[in-house]
Structure 1
Amino acid sequence: MKVGFIGLGNMGLPMAASLAAAGHELTVWNRTESKAAPLKEKGARVARSPAEAARGAEVVFSMLADDAAVTSAVFGQDGLLAGLAPGAVHVSSSTLSVALSERLAEAHASAGQRYLAAPVFGRPTAAASKQLWVVAAGPKQDMDRCRPLLETLGRGLTVLGDRAPAANVVKLSGNFLIASMMEALAESFALTRKSGIEPKVFLEVFQSVFARAPIFEGYAQLIAEEKYSPAGFKMRLGLKDVELVLGAARTAEVPMPLASLVKDQFLGGVAQGHGDLDWSALGALVAERAGLKQGD
C-alpha cells in the first residue's frame, strides 16, 4: 500500500519503520529533515512538505506533538489537506484535543477525504518493538481498509465505533490514568524514602504485590531509579495532555479534581525547568518537596 507518514519524533520514527518493514511503499515528512535519514536508507522517499507526503498516498499517518503542530501540518500552506486525494484516508495517531479531532473529521469530509483517529498507548521502546496498543475510531469501511496497517504497529487494536473523536476521548482518559498513577507512585516513593526505606526495596514490594501491567511497573522503576532522562514522553507534553483531559471534562460537565491537581503538578515541574524531562519526573518534584535530594 502507498503510505505517507508525517512526524518522525520519538514515536513517529519507529511507527513509520514498522510500516516500512511490513513492505509498504513509504513517503515521509518531518520538520527536521535529517530525522528521516534512517527511513531513507531503507527505501522511503522523503517529502518536502506534508502535502507532498500525502500526494499519491492511499493512507497518510500523522504523529505530531500537539494541536498546534497538527493544525500547521494539516491546514497550513502545503498542508496534508491540500495534498490528500479524494477517498484517501488521514489516520491521526497524535494525542489531540477532542475539538481538533472533530474539526479534522469535518474538514476531510468536506474535501471528499476520509479520516480515522487512531492514537496509541506505549512508549518509544514499545513502538520500536511493535508492542503499542492502538485505539481507533471512524467509519467502518475506512477502518476495514486501514486495519492491516494499524495491526502492524502494535500488539493489539481496540475499535471504538464510527465517530472518530471517541478514540481521542479514550486516549486522553488513558493518559490521565497514567498521570494519576505516577503521582501516586511519586508520593509513595517519597514517603518510603523519607522513612529510611531504600527505593529498590519498595520497588521489589511494588513489583511483587502491585505490578501486573508493564506501564505501571515501568514508571515505578523510573521513579525508583530516578531515571528521568532521556525522556520517553516529556513532562510538558504530559501537561498538555492533562489540560486536554480537563477541556474534555468541561465540555462533558464532568468534575475531575484529581486531574486539576495533576495538572498543577506538571505545571510546577515545567515552571521549574523540568519540561523536557520524562513526565515520570513527578517523582523528583514530590521528593524535593519532601526534603529529599536526588540519589539520597
Structure 2
Amino acid sequence: MKIGFIGLGQMGIAMATNLIDAGHDVTVWNRSAAKADPLLARGATLAATPADAAQGEVVMTMLADDAALETVVYGERGIRGCPALHVSHSTISVALAERLTADQGNDGGFVSAPVFGRPPAAAAGALFIVAAGADDRIDRCEKLFAAIGQRVFRVGDTPSAANLVKLSGNFMIMAAIESMAEAMTLAEKGGVDRAMLLEVLTGTLFGAPVYKTYGEILVEDRFTPAGFAAPLGLKDMNLVDAAAGTLRTPMPVLGVVRDHLRTAIAQDGPDVDWAAIGLVARRGAGL
C-alpha cells in the first residue's frame, strides 16, 4: 500500500520501519527531518510537508500530544482535506478525536487506533492496537496493522471510543506501577528483597505483562533512558481527568498517581520514565 507516516519518535520510527520491511511504499514526515534518515536508507521517501505525506491510501500519525496532532492536521500544509484515510495512533483527548471525526469525515476519513506497548514491542511488531471507526475503513488497514501489531481490538464505530479505552488502560498501568512501588517499599523496609517480592508476585497472582515489565524496571531503578517519559504520562493522566470530568466519574486513585508524576518530574527531571513514581514512594518512606 502507498502510505504516509507522520511522527518519528521512538515509537513512530519503529512502526514505520516495520511497515517498510513489510513491503509498503512509505512516505514519512517529521518536524526534525534528520530523524527520517534511517528510514530513507531502508527505502522510505521524505515528504516536504504533512500534506505531501497524505496523498496515498492511508496516512498514519504517531505524535506526542493534542497540540502536535492539531498542527499536523490543521496547520499550514496540514493533512486536512487530503485524500488519505487518517489513522491516528497517538494518545489524544476524547474531545480531539471527536473533532477529527467531524472534520475529516468528508476527506479520506478518520480511524482512531492508539496502541499499547513500549518501544521494544513496537520494534518487534508486537503492539496491541485498539481501533474504532467505520468497519470498511478499519478493514483497509488490516495489512498495515498486521505489520506493526500482534492483535487488533475493534471497539466500535465511534473513533473516540478507542481513545477512551487507551486512556483507561494508561491509567491502569500507572495504578499498577503505584501499587507495586508501594508494596516493594513496604517489603524492603521490612527486610524483604524487592526482587524476591516481584518473583513471588509474578509467579502467583500477578503474572500479567504489566507487572513483569514494570516490576523489573522498579527493582532495577531503571528510569533512564525513558521508554515512556514522565511528562507524557502526566499528559495522559490529565487527559484521563478531562474525560472523567466530562463523564462525571470520580477517580480518586488518579489524583495520587498524577501528583506522584508531578513530584517525580520536579525531583528527577523531565527525562525519566513514568515508572519513576517508584522513587517517590521510596523517598516518602525514607529509603
Give TM-score, length-normalised by structure 1: 0.94
Partner Cα distance (1:72, 1:172) in 2: 22
Aligned to 2:206: 211
The counterpart of 1:189, out of the listed 141, 161, 184, is 184
Aligned to 1:6: 6
Paired amino acid for 1:64: L
- CA deviation digits over 1:41-96, x for unaligned, max 9? 01000112211111x211000000111111111111111215x22xx300000000
Partner Cα distance (1:278, 1:112) in 2: 37
Aligned to 1:107: 103
1:231-250 matches, cutoff 5 A: 231-250=226-245
Contact 2:129 2:145 in 1 (8 A): yes
Paired amino acid for 2:274: W
Q: CA deviation at 1:221?
A: 0.5
Give % identity. Answer: 46
Q: CA deviation at 1:265?
A: 1.2
Paired amino acid for 1:106: A
Aligned to 1:276: 271
1:141-160 matches, cutoff 5 A: 141-160=136-155
Aligned to 1:165: 160
Partner Cα distance (1:271, 1:261) in 2: 15
1:12-161 matches, cutoff 5 A: 12-54=12-54, 56-82=55-81, 84-85=82-83, 88-109=84-105, 111-161=106-156
Aligned to 1:267: 262
Paired amino acid for 2:93: S
Partner Cα distance (1:114, 1:141) in 2: 11
Partner Cα distance (1:11, 1:283) in 2: 24
- CA deviation digits over 1:272-295, x for unaligned, max 9? 243221111111111111111xxx
Contact 1:182 1:280 in 2 (8 A): yes
Partner Cα distance (2:94, 2:145) in 1: 21
- CA deviation digits over 1:3-28, x for unaligned, max 9? 10000101101111111111100000
In angstroms, what is the RMSD of aligned CA positions?
1.2
Partner Cα distance (2:257, 2:99) in 1: 28
- CA deviation digits over 1:226-249, x for unaligned, max 9? 001111101111111111111111
Give TM-score, length-normalised by structure 2: 0.97
Contact 2:176 2:210 in 1 (8 A): no
Question: Tell me, which stretches of 5 or more residues in structure 2 are unaligned?
Answer: none
Q: How many residues align?
A: 287
